[in-house]
Each structure stands twice: as C-alpha cells, then as structure tokens.
C-alpha cells in the first residue's frame, strides 16, 4: 500500500492540523451529545413536576454546566435553555475547526499526491504509454485522487463523529433510563440489517459505475482527439451509438446504485420513525408510572436522531472507503511501475561537450519480452560530423533505431555508444541535450509556432528570436510563417492541427535544429514535402551540419543518396550497406528502390 503509506507520511508531517482537527471533532461531538440534557432540564422545569436533577452522568453534567442557584421555575427554564444555546455555540466553533483542519489536510494531501503522480507519470518509460490510454491516466489524476481525498477527509470526519457519538449518547441515555434506552435501541437492529443488505448492493453498482465512467471518458477523449478520422470515415453515428451503449451501462449502474441508496435512506427514516413511536409509547407509559420525566422523554427523542444520523453516515462512509480502495489499487499500480531507467538519477556521466560519434554494436531489440524481435544484430558506426542514412521497407525497424539512439527504450542486447561510451552510462538528459530529434509523427503542442520551435532551447537564451528565425529558415519554413497574420505568434491547435503535414514536419525540423545539436536524428521527416523543398532543406542542412552527426531515415532515395554511408534494413537486419554508388552497383533492394523511384519521377 504505497499510496497509503504516502498519505500517512503526509499526515505525520502535518500532525498539528490532524491533532487540532480530531480534538475539535471529539469536542464538537461531545457538545452535541450533551445538549439534550439541558433540554430535558428546561422541559422538566416547565412541566408540573418541576426540576429533576437526573442521576449518574446526566446529573453530573447538570452540576458541571449549571452551577447556578435559580430564583424560580421561569428563571431555571431560561438558565437551562441558555446553557443549551451556549453549548450549541461551542459546538459550532468546534465544527468549524474540525472541518477547516481536516478538510485542509485532505486538500493538501490531494495536492502533493497529484504533484507526485504527475512527476511519476513524466518519469515513466516510453513503453508505459504504449499500452495505457491517456483517458485512463486522466481519470487516475482526477477521479481516483478525488476518491482518495474523500476517504482521508470527509470519510474520516464522519467516521470519527460516529465513533464518538455512539458511546457518548448511549452513556447519557443509560443514565437517564436504562430500560427505555434498550427499547429505543431495538429499531437499530433493523437498521443494521438494512445496512448489511443495501451496502454491498450500493457498493457493487457504484464500483461498476466508476469503471463505466473511466471507460466512457477514455473513449470520449480518444474520439475527440481523433475527430478528423471519425469524420473522414463517417463514423459519427457509430461513435455516438457506441458512446450511447457505454452511457446506458453507466446509467444502469448509477440508477441501480441510486435505487438501493434511496431504499436504504427510506428504510433509515422508517426505522427512525419507528424509534420515535416506540419511545413515545413506552416513554408515555413510563411517565405515567412516574419512572420517567417529560424532560427525559424529550431528551430521548433528540437522542433518537443523534443515533440515526451516525448510522446514515456510516453507510456513506463504507461507500467512500470502497471507492477509495479501488482507486488506491489503481494508484498503487502506477506507483509500482518501475521508472524510466534513463531517469533514475543514477548519477550517470554528464558530458560538457560531445564529438558526436555514434555506434551501434550488435544491437538487437524487442519492445516487449513476449513480442517479436524487431532488430537483429544491427551494427554501424558514424564518425563525428558524418551522415548515415537508413532506408528500408515499412516496419523494417528504422524508427526503432532512432528510438534506441534517443534512449526512449533500452536495447535488449548489444550496445549503443556515443563517443565510445554506452549511452546507459550517461545521464540521459545531459546526453539528450546534445541531440536534435525529428520524430516521424512530428507532434506539435497547442502553443505558438515560436514556442514550439524553441521547445528544447534554454528559455533565457538572449538569441532566442534570432535562433528561431534562423532554424525556421533552414527548415524552409520561414516564408510560410511570415505570411501568416501573426507570424511566429500564431497559435497552433491541438497537435498542430491548423498546419499542413509538410508544415508540421518543417516546424519539427526547426525545433530540432534550435537545440543546436551535435547529433541530429531525422525520422522520415521529409515524407510530406515535395522533392524541390526536400532538396533545399537537405542543402541547408548540409551547410549547417558540417559538424553535426546526422542519422537520416527516409523513404526516398533522393533524400539519402548524398549520405556518407547508407544502410538498408529489412525485417530488422542490415541487408546492404555502402554509398549510393556502391549500392546501385550491388543491384539489390536499394538499387531496385532507386530504379523504381527514378522511373516514377520521369513518368511524373
Ligand atoms: N512501441 C512499440 N511497441 C511494440 N512494437 C513496436 C513498437 N513500435 C514499433 N513496433 C514494431 O517494431 C517493428 C518496427 O517498427 P519501426 O517503427 O521501427 O519500423 P519502421 O521501419 O520505422 O517503419 P515505417 O517505415 O513504417 O516508419 C514493427 O513491426 C512494429 O510493429
Ligand atoms: Mg518509422
């Protein structure tokens, strides 16, 4: 129970608030439990039999709280009611303190828990996000943490109230009249039975509803993210039906929960009403016998309510605990996911500068232990400032090479080296600071174009605007940006939706260049630009990248033919390697690809 341990630690750190809150809870509940005693005194004093001190605890309470010498009956009534009012005011103060400190504590814990989880999520390996939906992660951060907060705040508060109220009220009731206390308690047996019957039902429906809600929001979230695909494939109606199906299930479970809850509430009021009837009936008989005063009867009626409320709260508290239990389980699963090994702060090597030599030494990789091998024994070496190109059919493992070089994943076998040192020996962030990466899907954030390009830059860089412009120019993106009314300050939609595919790619290239990299990794980043632009970008890069080691992955031969070395991947193996002319002469996969692309170009 790692999350629970964390919460306990948080409570220990704020022990003062907890102690004040719990002390206020104790005092407030005790105040509530003694008020009926003074009502009893007032009613007795006002009725024909006159003031009756009461025995045991109630007598003692009278002596402590009302050490006055009243002149007459009217004066006594006023004193008793005044005392009740005073105690009630005190109860108000304690209730405020209780709520303020306990709620404050739970809100603070919620805040630290959220911050810690967010940090945890940022430090998870890239693989975690492969099989976790972002909607599910969102509900961890929102509803699951909320459930935990409800448990450590309100649930603790109500549970504490019940725990104090029950014995306190019972003690006073017993001192007033033991027999009537027993009789008044009888309906509580029925209430307990009804709690035992309804609670598991409410819990079951609630848990299912919670799962439905998580699925519903994950699905909706994915749907909106993929809104364009949904539209293009005319899936709107289907998606609406699908959400409708999930929504109905959610509705069914929520209604089930609410039906059981309502029946439970009704049974509580039923038993409570029965309690009132029983107390009035037997109480009146007792009063007639002279064994009970009218005041005692009034007090019993008040205690009846005091006892039923905690029982209601108890049902609610069990539900809160059940919800929190499921949430804690999910939170713990997240907490137990091992962090990204490259971010464990193991104190790896932090180079001051790099030459930029890249080497893959017999690297093999599979993404999951059960999954198929994706790379087999891949070896190559790029001297500082040189360019290596990787071509190959779809799914041949090209992006995997980039992923491994960026250390988004650790290779399952073999060694990836930079400047002769295995990249696992480096501090991952220090190493990445020297790398520029253009991912295949050129993801952009919903921010301005300038901020997107400057993503990897030092925010205080005085040459920021200049660098952004220079890199946009190198990526052949500048003219288009300047043509926009707001230029570099144009806001992008989510994932950069208001840019064309080619524009997104060029923004991503500019972003990689702005990092001023020693090693540049370009994963198929020219696929959406025309051959002319491609040529110009490559020419700019060549000029810029005299000292930059470049690994360029591409589909088109035109993008790779000038590279110092080209490797051809097929099903995760290096099947050909050499320069453009070597490979054309070889007459293999590369030559075949080159011939077909040139033929296509001529036809066009
Ligand atoms: N995150 C992942 N988890 C599991 N398997 C993956 C993952 N990413 C890629 N693969 C698998 O690894 C193999 C190689 O994928 P990779 O992305 O490296 O190919 P690629 O050569 O870049 O293809 P493309 O030209 O289409 O970009 C594929 O069979 C793919 O299914
Ligand atoms: Mg790829």
> Which strand ranges, in their side-by-side order, compose the sheet holding 519-523?
435-438, 519-523, 549-553, 387-391, 565-570, 573-578
Confidence class of residue 62 from pLDDT cuts 50, 70 and 90? confident
Please report, for residues 137, 155, 258, 455, the alpha-carbon distance to residue 150 in angstroms, rounded to integers and kept in the order given: 19, 6, 19, 38
Best mean pLDDT range from 227-231, 305-309, 316-320, 507-511: 507-511
**pLDDT confidence of residue 346:** 61
Does the pLDDT value for residue 29 go beyond 70?
Answer: yes
- Where in the chain do CATH 1.20.1560.10 domains reside? 2-122+132-337
Q: Which residue has the higher pLDDT, 20 or 327?
A: 20
Q: Which residue has a Cα nearest atom 18 of ligand 1?
A: 397
Does the pLDDT value for residue 1 go beyond 60?
Answer: no
Check the CA dihedral 121-124-125-128 and report its sign: negative
Mutate to test the pocket of ligand 1, among 124, 131, 364, 367 (most ligand atoms within 8 A of CB): 367
Ligand 1 center from residue 583 Cα (angstroms): 24
Q: Contact at 8 Å (CB) between 282 and 183? A: yes
Ligand 1 center from residue 141 Cα (angstroms): 30
What's the burial of 174, exposed, middle or buried (CB within 10 Å: 0-12/13-18/19+)? middle
Q: Contact at 8 Å (CB) between 113 and 3? A: yes
CATH class of the domain whose range is 358-603: alpha beta
Does the pLDDT value for residue 515 go beyond 70?
Answer: yes
Mutate to test the pocket of ligand 1, among 128, 398, 437 (most ligand atoms within 8 A of CB): 398
Does the pLDDT value for residue 285 go beyond 80?
Answer: yes
Mutate to test the pocket of ligand 1, among 124, 399, 551, 572 (most ligand atoms within 8 A of CB): 399
- Where in the chain do CATH 3.40.50.300 domains reside? 358-603
Q: Which residue has a Cα nearest atom 23 of ligand 1?
A: 395
Least confident of 49-58, 115-124, 155-164, 172-181: 49-58
Q: Say how far apart CA 477 and CA 536 lie, in whole Å.
A: 11
Least confident of 175-189, 368-382, 488-502: 488-502
Which residues, at least 6 apart from 463, have a Cβ–Cβ distance to it below 8 Å?
A: none
Check the CA dihedral 330-332-334-337 and report its sign: negative
- Per residue in 444-498, pLDDT (tens digit) is 898 999 999 999 888 888 889 999 999 999 999 999 899 988 899 999 877 666 7
Q: Which CATH number fits domain 2-122+132-337: 1.20.1560.10, 1.10.150.120, 3.40.50.1400, 3.40.50.970?
A: 1.20.1560.10
Q: Which residue has the tokens 């170009």?
A: 601
Ligand 2 center from residue 361 Cα (angstroms): 21
Does the pLDDT value for residue 147 go beyond 80?
Answer: yes
């Amino acid at each position: 129970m790692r999350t629970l341990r964390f919460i306990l630690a948080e409570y220990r750190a704020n022990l003062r608030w907890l102690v004040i809150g719990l002390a206020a809870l104790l005092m407030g509940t005790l105040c509530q439990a003694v008020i009926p005693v003074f009502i009893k005194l007032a009613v007795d004093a006002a009725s024909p039999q006159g003031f009756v001190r009461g025995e045991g605890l109630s007598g003692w309470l009278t002596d402590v709280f009302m050490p006055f010498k009243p002149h007459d009956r009217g004066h006594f009534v006023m004193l008793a009611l005044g005392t009740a009012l005073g105690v009630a005011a005190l109860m108000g103060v304690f209730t405020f303190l209780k709520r303020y400190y306990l709620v404050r504590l739970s809100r603070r814990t919620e805040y630290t828990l959220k911050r810690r989880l967010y940090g945890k999520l940022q430090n998870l390996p890239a693989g975690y996000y492969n099989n976790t939906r972002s909607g599910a992660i969102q509900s961890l951060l929102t509803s699951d943490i909320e459930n935990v907060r409800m448990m450590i705040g309100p649930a603790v508060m109500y549970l504490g109230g019940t725990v104090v109220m029950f014995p306190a009220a019972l003690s006073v009731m017993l001192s007033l009249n033991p027999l009537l206390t027993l009789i008044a308690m009888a309906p509580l047996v029925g209430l307990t039975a009804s709690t035992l019957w309804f609670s598991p039902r409410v819990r079951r429906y609630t848990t299912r509803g919670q799962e439905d809600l998580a699925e519903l929001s994950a699905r909706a979230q994915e749907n909106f993210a993929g809104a364009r695909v949904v539209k293009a494939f005319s899936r709107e109606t289907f998606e609406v039906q699908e959400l409708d199906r999930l929504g109905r299930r959610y509705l069914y479970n929520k209604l089930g929960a609410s039906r059981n809850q309502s029946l439970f509430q009704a049974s509580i009021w039923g038993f409570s009403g029965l309690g009132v009837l029983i107390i009035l009936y037997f109480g009146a008989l007792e009063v007639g016998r002279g064994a009970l005063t009218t005041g005692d009867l009034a007090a019993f009626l008040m205690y009846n309510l005091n006892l039923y409320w905690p029982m209601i709260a108890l049902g609610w508290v069990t539900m809160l605990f059940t919800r929190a239990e499921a949430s804690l389980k999910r939170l713990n699963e997240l907490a137990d996911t091992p962090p990204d090994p490259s971010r464990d702060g193991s104190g790896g090597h932090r180079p001051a500068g790099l030459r930029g030599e890249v080497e893959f030494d017999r690297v093999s990789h599979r993404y999951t232990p059960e999954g198929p091998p994706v790379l087999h024994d891949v070896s190559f070496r790029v001297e500082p400032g040189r360019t290596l190109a990787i071509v190959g059919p779809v799914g041949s493992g090209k992006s995997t090479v980039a992923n491994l070089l960026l250390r988004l994943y650790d290779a399952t076998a073999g060694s990836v080296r930079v400047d002769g040192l295995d990249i696992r020996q480096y501090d991952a962030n220090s190493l990445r600071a020297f790398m520029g990466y253009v991912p295949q899907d050129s993801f952009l954030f919903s921010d301005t174009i300038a901020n997107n390009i400057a993503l990897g830059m030092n925010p205080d860089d005085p040459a920021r605007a200049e660098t952004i412009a220079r890199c946009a120019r190198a990526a052949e993106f500048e003219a288009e940006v300047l043509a926009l009314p707001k230029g570099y300050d144009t806001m992008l939609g989510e994932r950069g939706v208001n840019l064309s595919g080619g524009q997104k790619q060029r923004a991503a290239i500019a972003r990689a260049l702005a990092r001023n990299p020693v090693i540049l990794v370009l994963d198929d980043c020219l696929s959406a630009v025309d051959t002319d632009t491609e040529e110009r970008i490559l020419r700019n890069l060549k000029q810029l990248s005299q000292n930059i080691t470049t690994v360029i992955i591409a589909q088109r031969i035109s993008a790779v033919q000038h590279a110092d070395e080209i490797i051809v991947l097929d099903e995760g193996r290096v099947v050909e390697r050499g320069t453009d002319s070597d490979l054309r002469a070889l007459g293999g996969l590369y030559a075949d690809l080159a011939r077909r692309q040139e033929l296509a170009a001529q036809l066009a």
